[in-house]
Amino acid sequence: MVNEESLQVAAERGRILVEQSREVVLVLDAEHRVLAASRRAREELPSVEIGEPLHDELLVSDPLFVPYEVDGREETLVYVGFPGDLRAYEELRAGFTAAVSHELRTPLARLMALLETALLPGEDPVPYIEQAAGQVELVRELIDEVLFLSELETGREVVALGAVPVRGVLDEVATALEERAARADVTIVVEGSADLKLPIRSRMLRVVVENLAENALRYAGPRVTLTLAVEQAGDAVVLRASDTGRGVSEQDLPRLFERFYRADQARASRGTGLGLAIVKHIVTAAGGEVEASGAPGRGLEIRCVFS
């Protein structure tokens, strides 16, 4: 049986859901009077007043009406969209499409040049075909990461699920990248207690650590030490990737987690430009925060903090 206390809790829960919604949400009674309005609704529609009728001219675009009945009373949820919301989305979509197209164009142009050279009379085609295979791999990697990021943003991947010991994943990634690290002249050091855990799926944690490590292998430079560590910092657990490499300029630091962004010294390096964007998305979805610090010639440190 539902008691008065549970009804009060349910009512408060509903109020918070409406209040904190990022959308413009209104609740109307049968006479079209406003019963409740989300915070954004009050910001976008300042003339709306609780208890007063809602004037149709305030609805600047086609709203979504969801009628329902509660305790014998007819009420309606109204979701209001604004032209600017759609415009901002379209600008973001167009920018992302343009960026993907640009990033694909470069390896495809190199691939075409390599194949044309391999077909020239007297040329040994084998080295050109090997290089062309590398460009095909880069295109595949870019497509895979774009699709993975899309899955994350549409909610198809559950990021936070249970608690995962971190040290084992750090060791596994360091071992898997040992050969690549040797070729890049990078020494990988792993630190941290085996007891520390993070609220994130094992697969997602591995993706984060791999992307952090690969970022250093690609861009830090030779004769570098990369430290992958997990540590307790007060009430927080921190996943840290720090290198002693070439570092990043102050103006580049805030942009490291943008899609396709590369600092100047990294623009000629092989990579999709999506690795750190994926790291940030996974960490924030799991309730953490990402920080970057460093300076030219003084290395780069990326911290994923889970409070």
Residue in 101, 97, 156, 140 with CA at minimum distance from that of residue 281: 156
Q: 251 by DSSP, 3-state: which?
A: coil
DSSP string, 252-276: TGGGTTSTT---GGGTTSS--S-HH
Amino acid 174: pLDDT: 95
Pairing, β 236-243 against β 224-233: antiparallel
Tokens of 266: 């990294």
List, for residues 27-61, the tens digit of each pLDDT value.
Answer: 888 888 888 888 877 877 777 888 888 876 556 55
> Where are the domains positioned within the chain?
4-81, 87-153, 164-306
- What's the rounded Cα separation, in Å, for the pair 180 and 299? 19
164-306: CATH topology = Heat Shock Protein 90 (3.30.565)
pTM score: 0.54
Tokens of 116: 């044309």
CATH of segment(s) 87-153 = 1.10.287.130
Amino acid 243: pLDDT: 95
Residue in 306, 150, 156, 300 with CA at minimum distance from that of residue 232: 306
Amino acid 226: pLDDT: 96
Tokens of 201: 């799926």
Amino acid 149: pLDDT: 64
Tokens of 14: 């509903």
CATH of segment(s) 4-81 = 3.30.450.20
* Regions of the chain short of the pLDDT cut 50: 1-2, 83-84, 86, 88-89, 92, 264-271
